[in-house]
Chain A
Amino acid sequence: MGWIEDTVTSVKSIQLRQALHQTISIGLIVTSALMIWKGLMCITGSESPIVVVLSESMEPGFARGDILFLRMSKEPIRAGEIVVYNINGRDIPIVHRVIKVHERKDTGEVDVLTKGDNNEEDDIGLYAPGQRWLQRKHIIGRAVGFLPHVGWATIIMTEKPLIKYILLGGLGLLVITSKD
């Protein structure tokens, strides 16, 4: 009866090995994605190096679904640059253009006013109540390049979570069932 036990153990070992292999490949995918993201953060100096445009306020330059590449360098902020900023109490960062700059002589601190190219009014209405200027601490990056339309996948997945789960489930199934 020894050959039955042998078969059982060999089957068991194959399954264990396969399960381990799958765990490792899933881990590899997750960690390499994380590495790329963190690596981009290091290179660009911005806490979110890639953003998706969500509004029409910068039309016709940037449309909904375009992807922007951000950089945050030590260079001073100047009028005309497109910056991405966060306002206290707002979740979503805003991509708008700088139209006014006042830079202090002693501290180098800047007061910045922004406006969306497609908006009639400047952004004072978007800032926190009583806030008239943006400072450097509000700005998380300036746009240096862009790819059109690529961000639509993100928008669809955020607005229709069901599609996200179907996609994630499908991908997970593919990774688990693939023989490689």
Chain B
Amino acid sequence: MHSFGYRANALLTFAITILAIMCAMASVSDNFNSLSPTSEVQVWNINWFRKKPDGDDEVSLTLNISANLESLFTWNTKQVFVFLAAEYGTPKNALNQVSLWDGIIPSKEHAKFSFHTTNKYRFIDQGSNLRGKNFNLTLHWHVMPKTGKMFADKIVMSGYRMLEAYR
């Protein structure tokens, strides 16, 4: 009854149970954090705007992205993945989401930023619908915890408009 095997088993089971409970509590504690992120994005320049030989529109933008995501960080946050996507509808597609820039924020110290960048991924439409197109720029973030549930949210910034003609 009190053999080595039984004691080792009991100890291991107990240790794993406690570890699981601590992980669950760490994950639950994230829910008590109040979020107040802010962001602002300006289209600084449209570098060029063309129709590719295969018929799809492509545009190159220079963006000024500033955001304050410090409130997303808790003691259970491993990193925050943040990205800016252009979102718009076309006659063929109900929704197009094209990621223009993304980044990984490793800690709270880096969660407040403001910088210029050209789009990191190619902004290509499925078709030729970008001339004069109204679109939203949406800042999304995905919080990766040290353990437990991941969560995500976004800030939608509207009122952006593409050029009427290629250049």
Asked if B10 CB lies within 8 Å of chain A CBs, one says no
Q: Which residues of A contact B147 (CB under 8 A)?
A: 146-148
Q: Which residues of B contact A103 (CB under 8 A)?
A: 93-96
Task: Choose from A62, A117, A148 the contact partner of B146 (Cβ within 8 Å).
Answer: A148
Instruction: Give chain A interface residues in 122-147, CB to chain B under 8 Å.
Output: 122, 143-147
Q: Which residues of B contact A144 (CB under 8 A)?
A: 149-150
Instruction: Give chain B interface residues in 87-121, CB to chain A under 8 Å.
Output: 89, 91-99, 102, 104, 106, 121
A170 to B4, CA, bound (A): 16
Closest to A108 in B: B94
Tell me if A79 and B83 are in contact (CB < 8 A): yes
Total A residues in contact with B, Cβ cutoff 8 Å:
26
Q: Which residues of B contact A104 (CB under 8 A)?
A: 92-94
Report whether over half of chain B's contact residues are helix, strand or loop; otherwise say mixed: strand
Asked if A164 CB lies within 8 Å of chain B CBs, one says no
A81 CB → nearest B CB, Å: 8
Task: Choose from B27, B96, B102, B145 the contact partner of A101 (Cβ within 8 Å).
Answer: B96
Tell me if B91 and A99 are in contact (CB < 8 A): no
- Which residue among A101, A102, A148 has the maximum number of chain B CB atoms within 10 Å of its CB? A102
Asked if A56 CB lies within 8 Å of chain B CBs, one says no
Q: Which residues of A contact B157 (CB under 8 A)?
A: none
Instruction: Give chain B interface residues in 121-160, CB to chain A under 8 Å.
Output: 121, 126, 140, 142, 144-150, 152
A61 to B146, CA, bound (A): 9
B103 CB → nearest A CB, Å: 10
Tell me if B81 and A80 are in contact (CB < 8 A): yes
Tell me if A60 and B142 are in contact (CB < 8 A): no
Closest to B99 in A: A99
Tell me if B97 and A100 are in contact (CB < 8 A): yes
A93 CB → nearest B CB, Å: 18
A148 to B91, CA, bound (A): 44
Tell me if B81 and A97 are in contact (CB < 8 A): yes
Asked if B23 CB lies within 8 Å of chain A CBs, one says yes
Tell me if B79 and A145 are in contact (CB < 8 A): no
